[in-house]
A and B are shown apart, each in its own frame.
Chain A
Amino acid sequence: MATTALEHAPAHHEEATGIWSWITTVDHKRIGIMYGVTAFLFFLLGGLEALVIRMQLWGPDGRLVSAEVYNQLFTMHGTTMIFLGVMPLSAMYFNYMIPLQLGARDVAFPRLNAFSYWVFLLGGLIINASWFFGAAPNGGWFGYANLTSAQYSPGLNIDFWTVGLQILGVASLAAAVNFFVTVINLRAPGMGMMHMPMFVWMSFITQILLLLSFPIITVALVLLMIDRSFGTHFFVPAGGGDPILWQHLFWLFGHPEVYILILPSFGIVSEILPVFSRKPLFGYAAMVFSGAFIAFVGFGVWAHHMFSTGMGPFADAFFALATMIIAIPTGVKIFNWIGTVWGGKLEFKTPMLFALGFIAMFIMGGLSGVMHASPPADLQQTDTYFIVAHFHYVLFGGAIFALTGGAYYWWPKMSGKMLDEGLGTLHFWLMMIGFNLTFFPMHIVGLNGMPRRVYTYSAESNFELLNKMETVGAFLLGLAMLVFMWNILKTWRSHQPPAPADPWNGATLEWAIPSPPQHFNFPALPRVHGRDALWEMKRVAGGTLPEPTPVAHDAVPMPNPSWKPLVAALGVAITLGGFIGGSHLWVHAVGLVVLFYGVYAWAFEDPFAATGH
C-alpha cells in the first residue's frame, strides 16, 4: 500500500462510542455489525422455532403445540430464516467487506445504508410483533393465494406478513442500489471489474438479482394487501381473480431469491479456500461467468416450484430443462473449488473447515435438486420432506456453513479478537454431525411419504424413528450454536493481544489495514494492479508487510453521523404498518408526515458540515 505521512500522525482522538453514536452512525462497518447482531438474534429466534417444530414431531400425534401454533411456527421459521437470518447475515458481509475489499472508504451512499438497516430492523420487529397479538403469520413463507385471502384468513396474521415483507423489501432494494453503485464506482484505483475479489463479484450479482426480483414480490404483496384491505379480487376466483397468478409472481421472485441467499456464500467460500490452500482461486473467469449465468437462468426456472399445478407438458419440459441447465454452472463452481484446493497446502483452520464442509454439503443439495428437476419424479417428491431435506442441504449445508466460515474468517477483522480454534473445530464437527443427523433422514422419510407442513403424523405411517433422529440432530445443532456463542463470549472477555491486521496471510485488501479498521478504512487509497491485491503487494515487498499503524481518527474527513435515515425509516414502517388490520388512514398520514420530514431533512443536510466537537 502507498505509504503517506498520514500514517505517522499521532492517534490522539478516539472515535465516538455510546448508544447515540451507533444510532446515528453512517459508517458501513458499524452498520455491518448492527446487521450482523440483529440478524444473528433473528437467526437464533428462527432456530428456536425450528426446535419447537422438531419437538412437536418427536412422536406421532404430537400435542406439544396446537395445529394453529405449529402453522405459525413453520411460517415464521421460513420467513425468519430467509428474510431476517440469511439475507441480513449476507448484508452484514456486504456492508463490512465490500468497501474494504474494494479499497474504498465507505459505500456510495452512507446515509442510505443506515436507512436500509433501520428499515430492515423495523420490518423484522413488526413481523415478529405479531407473536404478541397471538397472530403470527400462518400461511407459509410462500403465502399461497387463496388461503391468504380475507375470506379464508380473516385475522391479522397475513397482514403482519404482507406488511412486514414489504418493509423488508424496501430495505433490500435500497441496499441493493447502494452496493451496486459502490461496486461500479468505488473500486480502488487500478482495480478493474475482473480484478475484484470473488466475494465482491458474487455480492454484485446478488444486488442485480435483488434489484430485479424484489419489485416482483412487492407487486404481488401490494396486490394481496389491497385484496385484503379494499376487497379487490386479484387472487380471488369468485371475483374473476386467479390464485395461480400469485404462484407465478411469488416464484418469479422466489427462485432468484434462492440465488440471493446462496451467491454471497459462494463468494465467501471462494475467499476462504485460496487463503487456506495458499494458492489463488482456480478458474477466476469461469467462477464469475458461472455465477452470472446461474443468476440469469435463475429467472427462467421459477415454475419448477409448480410442476404439480398441471401446467401442461410443454411448460413442464421447458422448466425442467432450464432447471437442469443450472446444474452445469453450479458444477463448474464445485469443480473449480476442488481445483483450488488441489495441489495446495491446506491449513485446516476453522474457516477452512466450514468452507470444505460447505462444498461437501452443497454437492448433496445440488444433486437432490436435479432429482426433482424431473417433473414426473417431482410429482412424488414435491411438498414432501424430501424437498425440506434438499433445500436445507443448500441453505443450511450451503449458506449457513459458508456464513459461519465467514464469521470465523472475518471475526478478527471486525472485532480485533481471534476466535478460539479448538472451540471452532468443536463447533464445526457438532454442526456437521447435527446437520446431517437432522436433514439426511428427511430424504428417506420424504420419499416414504411424509408431507411437509403437517403439524403431526399418524402412528400408522411409521415415520417416528426417522423423526426422532431428526429431532436429536436438531438439538445437536442447537448445542453447536451454544459452542459458537461461548467462543465469542470467551474470546471477547479474554485479554488476548489484539488481532493482527493480517492473521491468515490474506489475499485481499481488508487485511492490509488494522483490525478493526479505522473509521475511514484506508488513510490513502491503495493502488491495485491485479487480482489478489494484498498477495501481490506482499510478493513485491518480498514476503510480509509491516503491521499498519493507526493514524489520527480525523485524518480523513468522513460524513457526519445522521439521525435522519432513522426518521425516514420510521416513516416507511408507520405508513405501511397502517395496513395491519385493514387500512387506517390516520396511521398512513402520520407515517407519510414522518417520512417526508425525514427525507426532507436528510436531503438538505450537509454531511460534511463542521460539527460542535
Chain B
Amino acid sequence: MSQTPVRRLRLGAPVLLLAAAMLAAGCAPDQYPQTTLIPRADFAREADTLMRQTLLWATIVFVLVEGALLFAIWKFRNRPGAAEPVQTHGNTTLEIVWTIIPAFILAMIAVPTVRTIFKTSQRPGPGALQVEVIGHQWWWEFRYPELGITTAGELVVPSGRTVSLEMTTADVLHSFWLPQFAGKRDVFPGRYNNLWFKAEVEGNFPAQCVEFCGVQHGRMAYRIVSVTPEAFDAWAANFNAPPKDFTADSTANPLVREGQRLFTAKGCGGCHAMYPALPLIGPNLHHVGSRSHIAAGTLENTDENLARWIKNPQEWKTGVLMPNLGLTDQETAAIVAYLRANQ
C-alpha cells in the first residue's frame, strides 16, 4: 500500500509533460485563427480582461486546493504501525474561515463582472456603422441600411469605427459570434439583439454560427473582413453598381455569357439575386467573384471550389437547401466563369 504514492509520482511525470505540452499549445493562440484569446476589438478586450482575472483566481485556488489534497494524500497515507487517527468531527473556526475566503475571492470576481456587464450592455453611440445581421439555415446575411447594401457570408467592416449589429433570424435560432472582436449573441425570430465592437486591426477572420440550428450547423460559417476606412468606403461606393449584363456585351468572354444565360435558365436566379440590395431566399451573389470564401464561409473562393459547390452542393453540405441541379461539367464551368466575372 505504501507503494501507491510512489507509483502515483511515476505515472504523474508523463501526465505532467503532456499537460505542459497542452499548455504550450494553449499559450500559442496565434496558431488558431478563430481564437478568443487574442482580442482585436474593444468588446472582446473587456471579455478577455475579465476572463484573465477569473483565470488567475481560479489558478491560484486550483494550485492551493489540489496542493492541499495531494499533500494530505501523501502525508496521511497508511504506514505500518501508524496509530489510529484522532476521531475529529469538525472545527467550527476552520469551517467559517473556508466559507469566508471563497466568498471574498468571489467578490473580487463579481465586482468587475457586474461593472463589465453594464459596460458591454451599453448601446453604441450615434456615429456607429449600422449592420443588420440575419441568420438563415445555414448562412448569414448582412445588410447595411445606411448604404443600401445586402450581402452574404462576409461581414465587411472598417477598422477604427464602432460597428453596431442589429441581429435577427429568418427561421430558427442561431447565434452570431465574433470571436476576435466581441462575444456572441443568439438571434430570435421577430426580435432584434444587439452587439457592437470597434475593430483594432485589419484582416480576414473566420467565425461560425454557435447555436445548434439543424443539420448543417457545423458548416454555417462566415468571414469577418476588417479593412481600412478608406478601403471600406471604396468597397461601399462601388458595391451598388449594377452588375454587368454580359449577354448584351458581344465582346465579353463567351463562357461568361453562356454562364449568365445558364444562371437564368437553370433557375439559379430564383433564389440568388445578382443585383445589390435585393434579398431573396438564398445568399445575394452580387460581387461574389471577389469574396474570399463561398458556401457560407466554408470553402475558399477558387474556381475549383466554386465548381465543386455548384455541381453538387449536397456533397459538401448534405441537407443544404440548395438542390443538386445536375449540371454538366461544361455548364458548371460556364456558371463559374460568370460568377467569377462578378467582381
Contacts and interface: CB of A to CB of B under 8 A. Distances in A.
Contact of B50 (A68, A70, A346, A377): A377
A463 B32 contact: yes
Interface stretch (A17-25, A364-372, A406-414, A574-582): A364-372
A457 B34 CA distance: 11
Given A286-B95, A379-B184, A461 B206 contact: yes
Contacts of A460: 33, 206
Given A279-B86, A440-B19, A454-B208, A331 B34 contact: no
Contact of A448 (B29, B54, B114, B120): B29
Interface in A379-407: 379-384
Interface string A251-283: 000000000000000000000000001111111
A313 B118 contact: yes
Contact of A458 (B25, B29, B98, B206): B206
Interface in B164-185: 171-173, 175, 177, 179, 182-185
Contact of B117 (A309, A317, A342, A455): A317
Contact of A347 (B1, B211, B213): B1
Given A343-B76, A444-B25, A338 B65 contact: yes
Interface string B210-241: 11111111110100000000000000000000
Interface string B44-64: 101110110011011001100
Nearest to A325: B106
Nearest to B86: A343
Contacts of A440: 19, 22
Category for how many chain A residues contact B: 35 or more
Nearest to A316: B117
A365 B10 CA distance: 25
Contacts of B47: 376-377, 379-380
A282 B212 contact: no
Interface stretch (A107-115, A140-148, A170-178, A217-225): A140-148
Given A316-B121, A444-B25, A380 B218 contact: no
A238 B188 CA distance: 12
B118 A344 contact: no
A382 B184 contact: yes
Contact of A144 (B83, B194, B211): B211
B26 interface: yes
Contacts of B33: 449, 460-462
Contacts of B88: 279-280, 282, 343
Contacts of B173: 144-147, 243
Interface in B288-318: 298, 317-318
Nearest to A74: B212
Category for how many chain B residues contact A: 35 or more
A375 interface: yes
A344 B78 CA distance: 8
A142 to B, nearest CB: 8
A465 interface: yes
Contacts of B183: 308, 376, 378-380
Interface stretch (A30-38, A355-363, A513-521): A355-363
Nearest to A347: B78
A244 interface: yes
B35 A363 contact: no
Contacts, number: 301
Contacts of A499: none
A345 B184 contact: no
B291 to A, nearest CB: 16
B82 interface: yes
A94 to B, nearest CB: 26
A282 B190 contact: no
B99 interface: yes
A185 to B, nearest CB: 28
Given A282-B88, A454-B218, A376 B26 contact: no
Contacts of A336: 90, 95
B85 A279 contact: yes
Contact of A374 (B29, B54, B216): B54
A356 B221 CA distance: 42
A321 interface: yes
A12 to B, nearest CB: 42
A443 B82 contact: no
B214 A152 contact: yes
A431 to B, nearest CB: 12
A332 interface: yes
B151 to A, nearest CB: 21
Contact of B217 (A277, A425, A453): A453
B41 interface: no
A20 to B, nearest CB: 45
B175 A449 contact: no
B72 A328 contact: no
B208 A244 contact: no
Nearest to B55: A371
B103 interface: yes
Nearest to B208: A451
A313 B218 contact: no
Given A67-B318, A321-B110, A348 B46 contact: no
Interface in A451-498: 451-458, 460-463, 465-466, 469
5 contacts: A313-B118, A436-B19, A451-B210, A458-B221, A466-B25
Interface of B: 1, 4, 11, 15, 18-19, 22-23, 25-26, 29, 31-37, 44, 46-48, 50-51, 54-55, 57-58, 61-62, 65-66, 68-70, 72-73, 76-78, 82-91, 94-95, 98-99, 102-103, 106, 109-110, 113-114, 116-118, 120-121, 137, 171-173, 175, 177, 179, 182-186, 188-190, 193-194, 206, 208-219, 221, 298, 317-319
Given A283-B89, A313-B118, A373-B113, 8 more contacts: A71-B214, A371-B58, A376-B113, A376-B183, A378-B183, A433-B15, A436-B15, A449-B32
